[in-house]
Amino acid sequence: MSQEHDYHRLVEKVKELPWYVEEFIDHKRRRMSSSTLLNYCHDYIIFIDWLRTEGFYQGNRSECPMSVLETLTPKHIESFLSHLELQLGNTKRTVNRKISSLKALFHFLQNIAETDELEPYIYRNVLAKIDFNNVKETMETVANRIEGKILHNDEYEQFRQFVAADYGEQHQDNKKMYHFHQKNRERDTALVSLLLGSGLRLSEVVNLDVDDVDFKKHSVRVIRKGGKEQFVYFSEQAMVDLDEYLRIRKDRYRLPKNEKSLFVSTAIGPRKTSRRLSNRAVEKLIEKYAVAFGKPALTVHKLRHSFATRYHMENNDVPKLKKHLGHSSVQTTMIYTHMTDKEMKRAIDHMDRMDSESDE
């Protein structure tokens, strides 16, 4: 399966950053996926732009000298972190991820990279003095937070049916929205059905090629975190919806014979060309349907949670679920046992109420 899309985006994004960041990205490329490194690049762009705004450096983003990094104090970094949280609206968990990105870069510059004279690129690493935000949560707390934002029971098929038909009926009076839905409903239904029927990550779905789908085995070939290849099974309904989409895919989207991407965009531009749906395009697609469906908190990742919760309820096999989701730690998978425990309690409470009513 090709990840050329993320790779080319990474190549372009690195051009916006200083030479030493490019060297760091090259150092990490063997061990980290292009999508992860893209996130690093976005974090570094935000950081360097903040340095420019605050007057630490004046000039082009790509020319920010490494010497600026050694002038920063812990107070400066704390000010940047406050900017992330208060001005940009990042959660403490998101801020921690950006701290991790910066720590990785500064560690590389101080402890791994060397000049021709065998000296470190920087001697002073201010990020080594910065602690992560304390955002520890119990698995039950995480489960409770997620539980209200996912699909339950009949909502799985209701949401799929909404994407397949009801959304169009809801917008019949808006010709533009109605026709756009009619053109893309097979694609969108197949996408939602695959997410709900497999629990794939956003990047895994976006990077799928047509040749990655095995209809006989009901599985798709994906590259998981860390570059590991895995065949992930999907549901019978997802197979039906994928088959319907593939029947119209080539002609509907005017695709050349060599177009491998499974999920493609509507033909746009003067040449009316289609291309692989991007991460952001899929996120916006799900957001559009979620809002119209009445569950605006529903996201691609929440569809993954929905699948995992349903899988555990029906199979109660944590090791298999861990493998299916591609989790590196069973502790992550255990979140779904807490979510289903709550559902079980609700069911028992309902039974208690029914018993008391029958006794009256």
| Positions marked catalytic | 201, 225, 301, 304, 327, 336
Sequence-distant (≥ 6) Cβ neighbours of residue 42 within 8 angstroms: 13
Q: Give the HSE-up count for residue 274: Cα atoms under 13 Å, Cβ half-sphere.
A: 22
Closest CA to 64 of 73, 55, 75: 55
Ranges of H-type helices in 115-267: 139-147, 155-161, 167-170, 175-198, 202-206, 236-252
Distance CA(71)–CA(63), nearest Å, equals 16
* DSSP structure class, residue 110: I
Q: Is 131 exposed, middle or buried (0-12, 13-18, 19+ CB in 10 A)?
A: exposed
Quick check: 281 and 125 in contact, CB under 8 A?
Answer: no
Are the CB atoms for 343 and 314 separated by under 8 Å? no
Q: Beta strands of 192-332 (E only): which ranges?
A: 213-214, 219-223, 229-233
Question: What is the number of other CB atoms lying within 10 angstroms of the CB of residue 90?
Answer: 17
Q: Are 187 and 195 in contact (CB under 8 A)?
A: no
Check if the beta carbon of residue 198 is closer than 8 Å to that of residue 235: yes
Alpha carbons 105 and 326: distance in angstroms, whole number? 27
SS3 (DSSP) at 264? strand
Q: What is the largest CA-CA distance in the chain?
A: 88
